[in-house]
Amino acid sequence: MGGSDVLGRILANKKREIESLTVPVREREKPILDFRQAIIDRNFICEVKKSSPTLGEINPGADVEETAALYESLGAACVSVLTDRDFFGGSFKDLRMVSSKVNIPVICKDFIISEKQIDVAYKNGADAVLLMATSLQKDEYNRLFAYANSLGLHVLCEIHELSELEVVSDMPPRILGVNSRNLKNLEIDIEKGAEIIKSLPQYDVKIAESGMKTEADIRIMAEAGAVGFLVGSSLMGAENPAEVFASLKAGLI
């Protein structure tokens, strides 16, 4: 998908999608797992992502349960599940299936702008949700962060620019993600991401996100101070995900 403001189009679509979103009546069946501690212990958040605006179809026929189970068996700390339908080929059904399959924490990765999305994520077994400073005003972030916390969910707050820290300044997150991809034009700059991570010593659990494909990429982010690494496309598109994961992990040795 080309264009100068992909995020704007995704958010406009998300507002329409939320109108027809319904919160399940059923109660949550599993306890909330410690997403933050899992990252500290095992570092890698591995993503279930069938497609993306940049790559198009990555693995549209992927069995989400098998994929998540493989990640767990390889030693992933957590599983990230894309629940955006139109741009990433995901669903809350995928989230429910994954959370029922694995015994490690699961994060709902979506463009969250409403409490309703957090409710649906919670009911479908998410242990954490993503809040993107790029797509939220300060009051919106504060409201959604507080609401997720009220349910006991962990929050991964994501920034792309240092200036976005102002959005989260009232309620600093305990897990901060730095996305090396500019979601407005989809360009990736790993060096910029690493510099931002390096400049934030006050955050002890920092997650490097997007564009990491090699052992060297992981090493750059680890040396900058990242504790966790969110990897998706490189695993989802691989013929041998176990081999790719082993290579990525080698960046921490």
Give the angle 232-251-94 at the CA atoms, nearest 5°. Answer: 20
- Measured distance CA(235)–CA(251) in Å, rounded: 15
- Measured distance CA(27)–CA(221) in Å, rounded: 39
Q: Which of 14, 49, 50, 123 is catalytic?
A: 49
166 is catalytic: no
213 is catalytic: no
109 is catalytic: yes
Q: Which of 59, 80, 179, 180 is catalytic?
A: 179
Q: Which of 209, 233, 234, 249 is catalytic?
A: 209
What is the SS3 assignment for 10?
helix
149 is catalytic: no
158 is catalytic: yes
Q: Which of 14, 50, 109, 123 is catalytic?
A: 109
What does the block give as tokens for 58?
């990555």
Q: Which of 158, 180, 206, 234 is catalytic?
A: 158
Q: 165 — phi, psi (to 5°)? A: -60, -25
Q: Which of 114, 210, 233, 234 is catalytic?
A: 210
Q: Which of 14, 43, 47, 164 is catalytic?
A: 47
DSSP string, 90-128: --HHHHHHHHHH-SS-EEEES---SHHHHHHHHHTT-SE
| CB atoms near residue 161 (< 10 Å) | 13
Positions marked active-site:
47, 49, 109, 158, 179, 209-210
